């Protein structure tokens, strides 16, 4: 590669997604890789003498002081309208320590993790998901209204808490990853009296989260003992990242190449558009044994049959399930506030029953909802619909706890001509 060609390639690569860039800048030949000068480090150096070096992850040492372990209800009144009280996820009680989760027999712990690299580019996604202004129109005084499809009010059926936020470095994704991984493992490692474990649900943040989230679960359930159902417009298995190992564009590849999961344990749903992957990426998927259901397949075969195929694949696999939901799998007409919107995506009426069924019928051990960028949405639909995804997962978990049969619909809502 001549210097002129190389410079042109780099300029073009900077304007393209990582997967496509792999077709332009080859990293197979050592003589084409930029050499590291003597004394130069390939990553940003960290100043361990800086007094604020680890301040971002320093926890208070009095979290348990003056109280018994257990969730804390921070609301003053027995009920409230959306504009009343202290914002938490669904106005839920707060837990601060694993001891709180254990004492409260908490089944689901919801927490935030931004994972956008830089103090000026945070999404406020987790905070917006807590704020009820755009997403809890029907939050009633002291009542959790049941979902009609199940007949259950999930928050009355399950012990769910707001577990705050994972520690995230304000400037370094590399420093954040092991801390988020440990935080996820901390939650998933809480064993309940009936032998189940607390289910972490992570609200992000960029899709680089997928790596520490899934890795944290493998720390509890074992390497190679986790399957991932991955909703996304993008394949997220880019072979390059401008020299950085972990990015929003490659968590699938990193999890597989690091031996944490196998390709056969990944099911991808909703891939589409020129920025998703390229044919070499599709070939890599096939070589690794990934199963994928691109949007064109959904359009051609119909969502109903495709969903049944996915559920059969996951049940046949038999391993615990991590559900990774990138909101850009949904058409931007419904969720415009995301980092990489891609037209032609799934409809909310397809997504919601699918999430409910997956969280009901499969052995869900963790979930993430990622790529929230609500500031890019001038309205309220991004948070409204993202929170509906979260609500339907809780609905499915409540149905599972009740022992409802697969593909259950509350018979009272079906028209029987009576």
pLDDT, block means (10 residues), the chain with 418 residues: 43 39 40 59 74 88 92 90 89 96 98 79 83 76 85 96 94 88 97 97 92 96 97 84 75 92 95 81 86 94 96 96 97 94 95 98 98 89 95 97 96 81
**Would you state the pLDDT for residue 18?**
42
Question: Residue 234 in contact with residue 249, Cβ under 8 Å?
Answer: yes
C-alpha distances (whole Å) from 345 to each of 34, 88, 92, 265, 336 are 39, 30, 32, 24, 11
Question: Residue 123 in contact with residue 177, Cβ under 8 Å?
Answer: no
| Helix H or strand E encompassing 358 | helix 348-361
Helices (H), 40-112: 98-103
**Is residue 266 helix, strand or coil?**
strand
Look up residue 42 and give its DSSP letter: S
| Helix H or strand E encompassing 167 | none
Kindly report the pTM of this predicted structure: 0.88
Residues linked to residue 231 through DSSP beta bridges, in sequence order: 269, 325
**Would you state the pLDDT for residue 36?**
60
Task: Tell me which residue has tokens 């669904």.
Answer: 90
**Would you state the pLDDT for residue 405?**
97
**Would you state the pLDDT for residue 235?**
87
**Superfamily holding 55-402:** Ureohydrolase domain (3.40.800.10)
Separation of alpha carbons 29 and 415, rounded Å: 65
Phi, psi of 330 (to 5 degrees): -80, 145
Those residues whose C-beta lies under 8 Å from the C-beta of residue 118, and which sit 6 or more positions away, are 170, 171
Q: Where in the chain do CATH 3.40.800.10 domains reside?
A: 55-402
User: 10 Å Cβ neighbour count for 120?
Assistant: 6
**Is residue 330 helix, strand or coil?**
strand
**Would you state the pLDDT for residue 83?**
85
């Amino acid at each position: 590669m001549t210097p002129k060609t190389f410079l042109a390639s780099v300029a073009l690569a900077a304007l393209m997604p990582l997967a496509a860039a792999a077709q332009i800048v080859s990293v197979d030949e050592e003589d084409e890789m930029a050499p590291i000068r003597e004394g130069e480090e390939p990553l940003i150096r960290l100043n361990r003498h800086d007094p604020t070096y680890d301040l971002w992850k320093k926890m208070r040492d009095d979290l348990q002081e003056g109280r018994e372990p257990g969730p804390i209800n921070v609301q003053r009144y027995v009920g409230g309208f959306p504009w009343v009280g202290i914002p938490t996820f669904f106005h839920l009680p707060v837990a601060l320590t694993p001891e709180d989760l254990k004492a409260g027999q908490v089944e689901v712990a919801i927490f935030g993790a931004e994972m956008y690299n830089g103090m000026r580019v945070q999404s406020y996604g987790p905070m917006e998901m807590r704020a009820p202004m755009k997403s809890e129109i029907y939050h009633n005084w002291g009542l959790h209204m049941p979902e009609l499809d199940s007949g259950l009010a999930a928050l009355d059926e399950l012990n769910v808490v707001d577990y705050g936020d994972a520690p995230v470095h304000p400037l370094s994704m590399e420093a954040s990853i092991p801390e988020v991984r440990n935080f996820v493992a901390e939650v998933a490692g809480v064993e309940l009296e009936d032998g189940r474990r607390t289910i972490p649900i992570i609200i992000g943040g960029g899709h680089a989260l997928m790596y520490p989230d899934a890795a944290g679960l493998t720390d509890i359930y074992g390497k190679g003992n986790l399957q991932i159902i991955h909703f996304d417009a993008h394949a997220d298995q880019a072979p390059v990242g401008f020299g950085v190992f972990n990015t929003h564009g490659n968590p699938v590849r990193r999890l597989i190449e690091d031996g944490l999961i196998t390709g056969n344990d990944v099911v991808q749903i909703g891939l589409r558009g020129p920025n998703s992957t390229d044919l070499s990426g599709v070939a890599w998927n096939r070589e690794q044994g990934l199963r994928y259901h691109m949007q064109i397949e959904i359009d051609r075969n119909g969502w109903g049959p495709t969903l049944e195929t996915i559920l059969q694949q996951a049940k046949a696999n038999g391993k615990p399930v991590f559900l990774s939901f990138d909101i850009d799998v949904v058409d931007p007409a419904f969720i415009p506030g995301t980092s990489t919107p891609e037209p032609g995506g799934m409809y909310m009426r397809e997504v919601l029953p699918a999430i409910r069924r997956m969280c009901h019928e499969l052995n869900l051990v963790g979930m993430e909802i990622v790529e929230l960028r609500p500031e890019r949405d001038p309205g309220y639909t991004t948070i409204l619909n993202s929170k509906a995804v979260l609500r339907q997962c809780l609905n499915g978990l409540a149905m599972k706890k009740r022992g409802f049969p697969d593909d259950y619909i509350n018979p009272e809502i079906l028209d029987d001509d009576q």
